[in-house]
Amino acid sequence: MAEIPEPASMDQLRLESLLQVVRGMARLLILPHNDPDPDALASALALQYLIETLTSAVCTIGYGGLIGRAENRALVKYLDVKLQRVEQLEIAAFDRIALVDSQPGAGNNPLPPGRWADIVLDHHQPFREQTTRASFSDVRLDVNSTSVIMTGYVLAAGLDISPRLATALFYGIETDTMGFERHPSPDDRATYLRLQPLVEVDALFSIQHARVSREYFQSFAATLRAAEIRDRAIVAYLGEVPTPDMVAEMADVLLRLDGIAWVLCLAACGDKLYLSLRSTEMRPNAGQVAQQLVRDLGMAGGHGLVAGGQIPLQGRDRAELAGEVTRRLLEALDLQSVPAEKLTHC
């Protein structure tokens, strides 16, 4: 009977398979999900470092949407990484495309129509059928951060992790686990501790405490006014927000309310209704619940305690859509008969 490879050996085997896909090519386009967060940014940067160090290929990191959250903008500035908007790139000029922290068909990435990803690196549920078409994919549903996966690759390659890259990967893990409140896996913990001595602490503090805009406090106030408590759940429809990542940020804030196990935040931005779902309960799975909420309306995904989705408005009333998604959540949690209680009357 063949021996089962140790985790480090598994990363080495995966690395070799990844390199087989990119060897001999000239240009790789790396695409994190839209409105990239710290985990997506750090993972994209780690992949760029890996490929450009081990091969002759040149990597470009493209992105769609906005980098709106203050901490994310501070991270990009600290990393001094050049990001390019996808619509400004000539996609045909790239030999391969890698999707990072997302999958084809997830609806939350700028993968151009008519192109599929050659490489997929992700940790979100569900594992999508389109991912099987990739020449190489590594989708691990048992970790909470793609930064964990990418750290394993860099270590398997025997490469040094600079303090700057370590800080980014460390922050990616920290944010995707909410400071380890989201039931981290053993791999999450091990990687976090491996990176910790390399982190530039002062830089990390500055990123975590980045100055926020007036719009942030306006959205914060709107969240408090809109939030309704239904037993162990709280729901808030924010109307229009300046950036989609504000929805996730407000969901994280509400999850801190004592006695709350589920949070649903919804808001419109541009031509879509965005939703963020948070939970402190392992069952039911937040990613699966989110898919139920948008099943015939849009796209959603996530993992155990964190999920998100988007619904194209297509001329539909955004408040009515938000109401339908809310109704589905209350039904899924068996809370439809619980009266709504305003969080605040301000």
Helix pair 146-156, 186-195: axis angle to 10 deg: 60
Same domain as 101, residue 67: yes
Same domain as 186, residue 252: no
Same domain as 172, residue 25: yes
Q: Give the whole-angstrom CA distance, residue 69 versus residue 72.
A: 5
Q: Give the whole-angstrom CA distance, residue 256 versus residue 238.
A: 18
Same domain as 18, residue 38: yes
Same domain as 125, residue 222: no
Chain centroid to Cα 196, Å, comes to 21
Count of other CB atoms within 10 angstroms of residue 95: 13
What are 274-297's pLDDT values in tens digits?
A: 999 999 987 888 888 999 999 999
Same domain as 174, residue 288: no
Residue 1 domain flag: no
What are 317-330's pLDDT values in tens digits?
A: 999 999 999 999 99
Residue 35 has pLDDT above 80, yes or no: yes
Q: Provide the H-helix boundaries in 57-185.
A: 70-79, 146-156, 163-176
Lowest mean pLDDT among 129-138, 174-183, 250-259, 284-293: 174-183
The CATH number for 121's domain is: 3.90.1640.10
- Residue 112: pLDDT band with limits 50, 70, 90: confident
pLDDT at 219: 86
Residue 285 C-beta-side C-alpha neighbours within 13 Å: 14
Number of domains in the chain: 2
Task: Tell me which amino acid residue 227 is.
Answer: A
User: Contact, 44 vs 30, CB < 8 A?
Assistant: yes
User: Contact, 309 vs 298, CB < 8 A?
Assistant: yes
Same domain as 196, residue 83: yes
Task: Determine the structural domain holding residue 152 and report its residue range.
Answer: 7-207
